[in-house]
Amino acid sequence: MSIVAVIVTYNRLNLLKACIDAVRSQTYKSEEIIVVNNGSTDGTTEWLNSQTDVLVVHQENLGGAGGFYTGIKTAHEKGHDWIWVMDDDAEPQIHCLEKLVNVGLDGNYTYVPVSVDPITKKLCWPTLVIHKNSGTTETIEELSQLREQTLETDKSNLLGTLFYRQVFELAGYPNPDLFIRGDEIEFDLRVQKAGFRALLVKDAIIYHPTPKNVIPIIFLGMKIYSEPGWKTFYHLRNKIYIQAYVKRDLKKALLVSVFFLGILLFEDQKLKRIQLYIRAIKDGFGGKLGKTIIPM
């Protein structure tokens, strides 16, 4: 059984070094480390080229979606059995991969570590779990709420999840045309549709920082974090696309549009943002994807 680690990076050299060191230090070793460098300009390219134990794929900046597409496709085509994926700001604890493997790998499942903020030691986001005996669901935010060693959860993510190669044969690779924001949601929907279930492994911990100095906007009972306009463009466009084309729910897609237009009340640079939002809405409903706004 061969396991490969796939890491996607862009202009975060110090975080990348910590991530690769953490993968190298695992008590259960991956057979190979593949890093996709999305056109970094901060010295990442030169440093990666000096690493003798890392397979590096250099490409233009195709976002997280394009990075995971390339990395997973490369790993899959090389014949690896299991593919362990993460961003460069993830840092798996030393026993993380061992804990994922030791639950007894079954190709019908994806294996999800617990994402924990390294400062607060809380879960990075509320996580829904399904209790095996009762079938009831619970949303957890603290590690102490995890009482069973493994629990089914509602989604796989691209932050430390271990995937069997057949997942990609049946569900395909992440969609590179989504660029950033929502690519993991669209991919997970295909994974679920293909019949795979996600298993959260209590003792498999992966550290990942939660956003700092970012102010949440609460509107109509929903919360979103204020971001640069170009990021919100992709967030909105892809969210509408997923609702309209993947979930086939036009009503929800329209509600998403109204919600994002509503949060303009709380944003600065309203004129510039509304132009981006209208374009995102048009592109989302029109199914126009790709890298259409240059990151700034």
pLDDT the model gives residue 81: 97
Torsional sign, CA 243, 244, 247, 248: positive
The yes-or-no verdict on residue 216 having pLDDT over 60 is no
CB-based contacts of 99, cutoff 8 Å, min separation 6: 113, 201, 203, 204, 205
Which 3 state secondary structure label does DSSP give 134?
coil
pLDDT the model gives residue 266: 67
Nearest to 130 by CA among 140, 143, 122: 140
CB-based contacts of 125, cutoff 8 Å, min separation 6: 115, 210
- At 65, the pLDDT band (50, 70, 90 cuts) reads very high
In the beta sheet, which residues pair with residue 56?
A: 35
Q: Is 60 exposed, middle or buried (0-12, 13-18, 19+ CB in 10 A)?
A: exposed
CB-based contacts of 152, cutoff 8 Å, min separation 6: 129, 130, 132, 197, 198, 199, 200
pLDDT the model gives residue 243: 96
Whole-model pTM: value is 0.92
pLDDT the model gives residue 63: 96
CA angle, 199 then 65 then 18, to 5° = 70
pLDDT the model gives residue 70: 98
- At 125, the pLDDT band (50, 70, 90 cuts) reads confident
